[in-house]
Amino acid sequence: ANSIRLAVVPGDGIGQEVVAEGLKVLAAALPADVALETAEYDLGARLYHRTGETLPDSVLDELRGKDAILLGAIGDPSVPSGVLERGLLLKLRFAFDHHVNLRPAKLGPGVASPLGPDAQIDFVVVREGTEGPYVGNGGTLRTGTPHEVATEVSLNTAFGIERVVRDAFARAQARPRKKLTLVHKNNVLVHAGHLWSRVFNQVAAEFPDVTTDYLHVDAATIFMVTQPERFDVIVTDNLFGDILTDLAAAIAGGIGLAASGNINPSGEFPSMFEPVHGSAPDIAGQGKADPTATILSVAMLLEHLGHTDAARAVEAAVDADLAERSSSGTRSTSEIGDAIAKRVAG
Ligand code: IPM
Ligand code: MN
C-alpha cells in the first residue's frame, strides 16, 4: 500500500519516550512514496485516572480501521495490578485476535550475552496469544476466608492450537535450519498438553522438511541457557511463551533489545508491535530507557506491512549501532534514536 494508517499508543512510563524514537526511525525508513498517517491515542494510567476507562469502545472502533498499532508499554504502580494489563493490553490482543505473538531472540553484533562471547542465539518464539491461562477463565469462592479458592483455568482449543502451530511450521520452513520445537508440560498438564502434542504431530505431516522436537518447559529453560543454539523456532502456549521470552531476552542482550509483534496473520484486524519490556516507572521520564526494542519492533511492523527493504534497513542500522555501543558511551533515549534514524536515512 502507498499509505500506512498507524495508531500510536505510547502508554505508560518509558512507553512515551521509546515510542517517540520508534516513530523517528519509522519516518526515516519509509520509502518516499509511502505516506504515513499517525493517530495517537492516550491510553493507560492517565486515562484510567481521568475517566475510569481503560479502552473505550470508540477507541477500539477507531483502531480497528488502522493498518497497524505501535504500542509502548502499559502498567503503572498507581493502578492496581491487572487493571491496565487486562483491560487494555490483553483486551487489544484478544479483540484483534493476535494469536501469533512473535518474539525473536537474536544476539546482535558486539552485544554481550550473560552466556558468554561464544553463545549462538538466533531463534524466534511463536507464543500463542489468545488462549491458555490468559483468557481470564476462573474465579474465587469464599473470598477472604481461610477456605478461599481461586481457579485460573487454561483454555486451549484445537482451532487455536492448530492455527498457531501451522504458522510456526511455516516460519520454521522459511528459515535455513528448518527446525521447530514444541514446548509444553505434557507430562503434567495432560489435557492441554496432549492436545497440543496431537495437533503438532498432525500438522507436522504437512511439513516433512521441518525437523521437529518436543521439550517440557522446565527442560527448555535449561537448554536456553546451556545450549541456546539448539533452538530455531519454538511454538508454545501463552503463559509458557511469556516466561520463556523474558529468559530469551535476557540471554540475547537484555530486555532493552527484545522486540515483539502481536500478529493477526489474516489481516482482518491490525497487528500490534511493542517492545517486550514494561513501563519501567523507576526510570521513566529521565531519558534513560533504551529505545532499541521499540525500534526493532518497528522493523517487524514494516516487514508485516510488506516494506521488506525498509525493515532490513532498520535492522542493519540497529546492528551497526549495537556494534559500536561499547565505544559510544552512555547515550540518552533520544540520542540512540537519533543515531539509528541517521543511519537509516543513509
Ligand atoms: C508481555 C507482558 C504482558 C504479558 C503483561 C504486561 C500482560 O508481560 O507482553 O510479555 O504477560 O503478556
Ligand atoms: Mn512478559
CB–CB of 302/310 below 8 Å?
yes
| Distance in angstroms between the alpha carbons of the first and the last residue of the chain | 23
- Residue 207, classed as helix, strand or coil, is coil
Residue tagged 498517517 (cell numbers): 37
287 known ligand binder: yes
Instruction: Give tens-digit pLDDT for 167-212.
Output: 999 999 999 999 999 999 999 999 999 999 999 999 999 999 999 9
Asked whether residue 93 is marked as a ligand-binding residue, the answer is yes
Nearest CA to ligand 1 atom 1: 276
pTM of this prediction? 0.97
Q: How far apart are CA 305 and CA 317, in angstroms?
A: 19
Q: Whose CA is nearest to atom 7 of ligand 1?
A: 85
pLDDT at 141: 98
At 227, is the secondary structure helix, strand, or coil? coil
DSSP notation for 101-124? EEEEEE--TTPPPTT-TT---EEE
ipTM over 0.95: yes
Residue 269 exposed, middle or buried by CB count within 10 Å (0-12, 13-18, 19+): middle
Q: Which of 76, 83, 88, 89 to mutate to test the pocket of ligand 1 (most atoms within 8 A of CB)?
A: 89
List the grid coordinates of 220: 527448555
Give the residues surrounding ligand 1 with Cβ less than 6 Å away: 75, 85, 89-90, 242, 276
> Residue ranges of the domains in the chain?
1-98+259-346, 113-252
Is the pLDDT at 310 greater than 90? The verdict is yes
What confidence tier does 26 reach under pLDDT thresholds 50, 70, 90? Answer: very high
Q: Which helix (H) or strand (E) holds 7?
A: strand 3-11
Q: For residue 244, how far is the Cα from the chain centroid?
A: 12
Contact 107, 121 (CB under 8 A): yes
**Which DSSP helix (H) or strand (E) runs through 63?**
helix 57-64
Distance CA 220, CA 249 (A): 14
DSSP string covering 261-292: EEE-TTSSS-EEEEESS---GGGTTTT-S-TH
In this structure, CATH architecture of domain 1-98+259-346: 3-Layer(aba) Sandwich (3.40)
Pairing of strands 100-106, 259-263: antiparallel
Note residues around ion ligand 2 (Cβ under 5 angstroms). Answer: 242
Class level of CATH domain 113-252: alpha beta
Residue 339's pLDDT band, with cuts at 50, 70 and 90, is very high
How far is Cα 11 from Cα 247, in angstroms, rounded to an integer?
24
The overall longest dimension of the chain from CA atoms, in Å, is 65
Look at residue 27 and give its three-state secondary structure: helix
CA of 242 to the centre of ligand 1 (A): 7
Beta strands in 66-148 (DSSP E): 68-73, 100-106, 122-128, 138-141
Q: For cell 475510569, what's the residue?
A: 52
pLDDT digits (tens, 9 = 90+) for 275-300: 999 999 999 999 999 999 999 999 99
13 in helix, strand or coil? coil
* Residue of 67, 64, 66, 125 lying closest to 91 (CA atoms): 64
Q: Do domains 1-98+259-346 and 113-252 have the same CATH topology?
A: yes
| Cα 75 to middle of ligand 1, angstroms | 10
Model pLDDT for residues 209-233, shown as the tens digit of each residue: 999 999 999 999 999 999 999 999 9
**At residue 104, does pLDDT exceed 90?**
yes
* Active-site residue list: 134, 185, 218, 242, 246
Testing ligand 1's pocket by substitution, the residue of 69, 81, 85 carrying the most ligand atoms inside 8 A of its CB is 85
The answer to whether residue 1 scores a pLDDT higher than 70 is: no
Report d(CA 329, CA 126) in Å as an integer: 35
Q: Counting every residue, how long is the chain? A: 346
